[in-house]
Amino acid sequence: MIDHGLFVEKYRPTTVQDCILPVELKTTIEKMVASGECHNMLFYGGAGCGKTSVARSICNDLDADYIVINCSEDGNIDTLRTKIRGFASTISLSGASKVVILDEFDYSNAQSIQPALRGAIEEFSKNCRFIITCNYKNRIIGPIHSRFTNLDFTIPNEEKPTLAFKVLDRVEYILNEEGIPYDKEVLVKLIMKFFPDIRRMLNELQRYSYSGKIDVGILSNLEEVTVKDLMDHMKSKRFNEVRKWVVDNMDNSFSDIFRSIYDGLSAYLNPQSIPRAIVILGEYQHKAAFVADHEINITACMVELMMECDFK
């Protein structure tokens, strides 16, 4: 195994068997692998739940040649014309099947590469398969859906406890391998906070591991976003303080920030302003999936809330 610096890469599963998945989903994928044939598949679900790891693991289990293209960085028509076409049009020297993994495909251009991909799928159907991963299925055009086997990575509620325990076992294994002492109760609380986003768990653990031990301190660094001060600043139209609050809270995910503000609307806004605030939050949360700078986007959202809403 290549010694990657990041836990998420160093301990990424390499086979479908090693992936932590809901029973029905895992069974479906294992049957497909057992058939020896890779289908064109669209994986959708929340961040960090294993979509890319499963795609890579399928290729490993099938001994397929594959490339991974991150469409959030490289999702334009030139990618299709050069990288994808160049890879898919050639025959593997070993005779192995070929697979193109289009990661975060919901960030690709819906007016160029997504429509063009339809032709590529049909043109290279004898030689190459495609696996798409995305968080938001609705951002991918319908003709792509119809050409792929759609697999939902959402975990059923009844399976969450079982899978959470499997994640705990995996996390303990990683920390033991790295020689990092830990408090098991703290790990449980960390998993409960971020499950099923395994990537976020591992990144937080690795970041805090430099302190020498995983203890209760990691939880104090991961407190829920609190919006009282923010609301006070917006009520008083203190823009500089609003901007500072955004900067101080950028370690939190933008979805957590929007959700915390949404949950606190009734406590801080006059009732007639709440519908307008919800519309503003929805618009900026949608924009967050496409913007280059989340700090600017969130600050713009706060400014619009500050100017458009009446505070108690």
Query: What CATH number does residue 181 fall under?
Result: 1.10.8.60
Query: What CATH number does residue 241 fall under?
Result: 1.20.272.10
* Average of per-residue pLDDT across 255-272: 89
- State the helix-helix crossing angle for 274-287 and 294-308, rounded to 10 degrees: 170
Give me the chain's average pLDDT, please.
88
Note whether 212 and 182 are within 8 A (CB).
no
Residues 114 and 17 in one domain: yes
Residues 12 and 60 in one domain: yes
Query: What's the residue count for the chain?
Result: 312
Domain span at 191: 157-220
Confidence of residue 83 (pLDDT cuts 50, 70, 90): confident
Residue 106 lies in a domain: yes
Question: β-strands 128-134, 149-152: how paired?
Answer: unpaired
- Sign of the alpha-carbon torsion through 286, 290, 291, 295: positive
Residue 184 lies in a domain: yes
Helix extents (H) in the chain:
7-10, 23-34, 51-61, 71-74, 77-79, 85-88, 113-123, 142-147, 160-178, 184-194, 198-209, 217-220, 228-235, 239-248, 254-263, 265-268, 274-287, 294-308
Q: pLDDT > 90: what percent of the chain?
A: 54
pLDDT tens by residue, 99-129: 999 999 988 888 888 998 888 898 888 889 9
Of residues 101 and 137, more confidence is placed in: 101
Q: Which of 152, 172, 204 is the last residue of a domain?
A: 152
Domain count, the chain: 3
Residues 61 and 110 in one domain: yes
Closest CA to 59 of 125, 149, 128: 128
Among 29-33, 130-134, 193-197, 290-294, the least confident range: 290-294
Query: What CATH number does residue 112 fall under?
Result: 3.40.50.300
Q: Which of 193, 220, 247 is the last residue of a domain?
A: 220
pLDDT tens by residue, 169-184: 999 999 999 999 999 9
Residue 2 is predicted with a pLDDT of 36
Residues 148 and 17 in one domain: yes
Confidence of residue 226 (pLDDT cuts 50, 70, 90): confident
* Average of per-residue pLDDT across 151-156: 94
Residues 114 and 20 in one domain: yes
Prediction pTM value: 0.74
What whole-number distance in Å separates Cα of residue 45 and Cα of residue 24? 15
Confidence of residue 96 (pLDDT cuts 50, 70, 90): confident
Residue 101 lies in a domain: yes
Residue 1 lies in a domain: no
pLDDT tens by residue, 228-258: 888 999 999 999 889 888 887 776 777 888 8
Residue 109 is predicted with a pLDDT of 82
Residues 89 and 105 in one domain: yes
Residues 47 and 142 in one domain: yes
Residues 38 and 117 in one domain: yes
CB-count exposure of residue 56 (10 Å: 0-12, 13-18, 19+):
buried
Residue 222 reports pLDDT greater than 60: no
Residue 223 reports pLDDT greater than 70: no
Residue 4 is predicted with a pLDDT of 47
Q: Which of 152, 169, 203 is the last residue of a domain?
A: 152
Residue 1 is predicted with a pLDDT of 34
pLDDT tens by residue, 13-65: 999 999 999 999 999 999 999 999 899 999 999 888 999 999 999 999 999 99
Q: What backbone torsions phi and psi does residue 10 show, to the nearest 5 degrees?
A: -60, -35
Residue 22 lies in a domain: yes
The DSSP bridge partners found for residue 98 are 65, 128
Residue 74 reports pLDDT greater than 70: yes
Residues 208 and 232 in one domain: no
Residues 216 and 253 in one domain: no
What whole-number distance in Å separates Cα of residue 160 and Cα of residue 226? 27
Residues 235 and 209 in one domain: no
What whole-number distance in Å separates Cα of residue 208 and Cα of residue 218? 6
Residues 11 and 148 in one domain: yes
Residue 2 lies in a domain: no
The DSSP output letter for 111 is T
